[in-house]
Amino acid sequence: MMALAAQAVCASAEAERRTVVWDTKALFEVPKVHATTERPAKGLRSFFYEGADNKGKPTWVFAYYAAPEGTAPAGGWPAVVCAHGGGGTAYPEWVRHWNQRGYAAIAMDLEGHLPGGDAHQVEGNFPVGEGHENAGPSRIDWFGDRDLPDQEQWFYHAVADVVRANSLLRAVKEINRQKIGLTGISWGGTIASTVAGIDPRFAFVIPVYGGGYIHESDNPGLAQWFPPKNMTEAQFHDYRTKWDPSAHLPHAKMPMLWVSSVADPVFQIDIFAKSARAAAGPSALCLRPWMIHGHGNGWQDAVEIGQFADQIVKDGPALPRLARPQMDDDTGLVTTRFLGKEDITEAWIYLTTSKGIWKSREWQFIQCTIGEKELVAQKRLPEGTTAFLVYVFKDVGGFRSNHAASELVLMDGGTPIPPEEREAPAEADAAPDKPMVFPNPATNPTIPAVGGVRWFWSTHARNYERRKAGNIDLCFLGDSITQGWPGDMFTGYYGKLNAVNFGCGGDKIQHLLMRLEGDDGELRGATPKVVVLMIGINNTGDNTAEEIAYGIKNMVKRIKKECPETKVLLLGLLPTRGNQNDKVKAVNALTAKFDDRESVRFLDMGAKFVGNDGKAIDALYRDEVHLSRKGYEVWHATMNPLLTEMMGR
């Protein structure tokens, strides 16, 4: 059961600003790897990699890794990082499970142990919970080490170990570094939920059972670790702002799938559903009734985990998607808009009239009639309903898949309680006026994503250092066409204007958005007079003209949010020597409407780059899309009058 959650939400008004205690720049570096003969597993590589430092010394993290048999696909294998839950370890079976789906995988021990026992294909029947010489901290109950410095606490190291696993996989030649996902079970789900807001390089994240808002749980087993029984006021503040995923999910912008059951005995449905709704990116709730809480069940039982991963990184079919249920004013019946009729066979309302502790509530069912795009309950909710959701699935010969659910709706006196009003986090994108639905979140140009070229981070770092140096009056933003300005020409034309070139080869709109993210954003704190923006040609293979224009509008708003006093000179996409020109013209026709004659001006230079036959002039290009020196001369000559006006010269 899966639900689309709001895409720009964060903590409630009274929540504090988060604190990031991890040095992500260091964690994004490739860790050292140490060979070992400890705990071998047939067909898998076992080794230690270095995690975060503890008391001035690098910790070593035990891990298993394997890739599928055979030749890797073009671009490399997709991959998954597997974060275990409480009492778990690095499980060979989990790695092999993903290998069988066509993914490379790494499973590591996050509690400073070597694998032990014989569960899930661990070999040798060694003692469970056995440490090693260079181990990091072990978990002590629920944040039982809260008196220690941040960098000595277990959760700090668990999150760092997962981020480092991503950095390691990204350096493996047989892996496609743009197609690495993360899944975590129970405690691992909580770790994964925090990592989602710390490491934007993951292509997708799938928490299973565990999530955030643990301090709001009514489960006595969880509530006992928080005030009034445990934690000082200062410790509770640290927990909410540093460790709980609720502090970081508003900064998680990759697609996420949240997998559990309605009656999970540890992480209750209310806080789990709230976690799904807190994520800033496309976030979906997937609930399978009676799903058992445990390792093995957490990767085997929910086939939707693999379906979702395939959807994001293999262009596989999308899971069904449900909107928030509504109460029909005339009939009193619950109605729910949805997509994916061909992928479901049944639809139900899952409801409770119980109150009190969530894990003890009893649940009832009402079947729904499946329309083309709407589900309609076959009878009204019973009096006294306190909460409900709508879910769908596909049943073929008793095998059920495609579980998808709406968000959880809380009730008060027979009336749905509106979802909490939430403010966008400081780094959140300014949303376009009318939301657009993207069937594949991976191609959504309004969600920041890491660029697919090896020089993305080094280019970003160089631009960031130049931004920190200050004295920027003119900034060029874009892809390789912008980056391709010959240095002598750029300096000759624009050097006296204190200009910088922040183009990056391979960038799509979403990749440029990523370069503007956070405190190391390339415009953060800068005050250029004018930003020259040309972006979108690399989106023409994935997106419609309307989607590209939508992404460009969002980009302009983002620039204006970072630099309110800056003017934006929006350049239309240039013609190409290929077959994209009909789409280029359509995009430019739409983006021309963004010109407000004041702070945003639009300029279509296309006519200067085509001949009388309507085709691109060969002399202005060095290949299908990139310009020659002559092409940059034409760019300058065409743009300069408007740029001069906007610069106030």
Chain-wide mean pLDDT for the chain?
90
Could you say which of 118, 595, 618, 623 is catalytic? 623
What pLDDT score does 427 carry? 34
What pLDDT score does 66 carry? 98
Best CA proximity match to 334, nearest among 373, 364, 376, 374: 376
Over residues 171-197, the pLDDT tens digits come to 999 999 889 999 999 999 999 999 999
Over residues 92-132, the pLDDT tens digits come to 999 999 999 999 999 999 999 999 999 999 999 999 999 99
DSSP string, 430-450: PPPSS----SSGGG-TTS---
- CB contact at 8 A, 621 and 633: no
Could you say which of 138, 354, 401, 480 is catalytic? 480
DSSP 113: B
Best CA proximity match to 401, nearest among 393, 409, 410, 392: 393
Mean pLDDT along residues 22-32: 94
CA distance 550 to 20: 32
pLDDT at 9 over 70: no
The band of 6, judged by pLDDT with boundaries at 50, 70 and 90, is: very low
What pLDDT score does 612 carry? 82
Q: φ, ψ for residue 574 (rounded to 5)?
A: -85, 150
Over residues 133-154, the pLDDT tens digits come to 999 999 988 888 999 999 999 9
- CB contact at 8 A, 377 and 294: no
Residue 626 bears catalytic tag: yes
Mean pLDDT along residues 9-37: 78
Residue 147 bears catalytic tag: no
Longest dimension (CA), the chain: 80
Q: How many CB atoms lie within 10 A of CB 549?
A: 24
What pLDDT score does 420 carry? 64
The band of 33, judged by pLDDT with boundaries at 50, 70 and 90, is: very high
CA distance 364 to 368: 13
What pLDDT score does 418 carry? 82
Could you say which of 138, 145, 401, 626 is catalytic? 626
Best CA proximity match to 220, nearest among 268, 290, 275: 268
Best CA proximity match to 563, nearest among 531, 518, 540: 531
Mean pLDDT along residues 238-244: 95
Flag whether the pTM goes above 0.75: no
What pLDDT score does 426 carry? 36
Over residues 36-63, the pLDDT tens digits come to 999 999 999 999 999 999 999 999 999 9
Question: SS3 for 309?
Answer: helix
Residue 113 bears catalytic tag: no
DSSP 366: E
Partners of residue 65 on adjacent β-strands: 45, 106
Q: What percent of the chain has pLDDT over 90?
A: 73
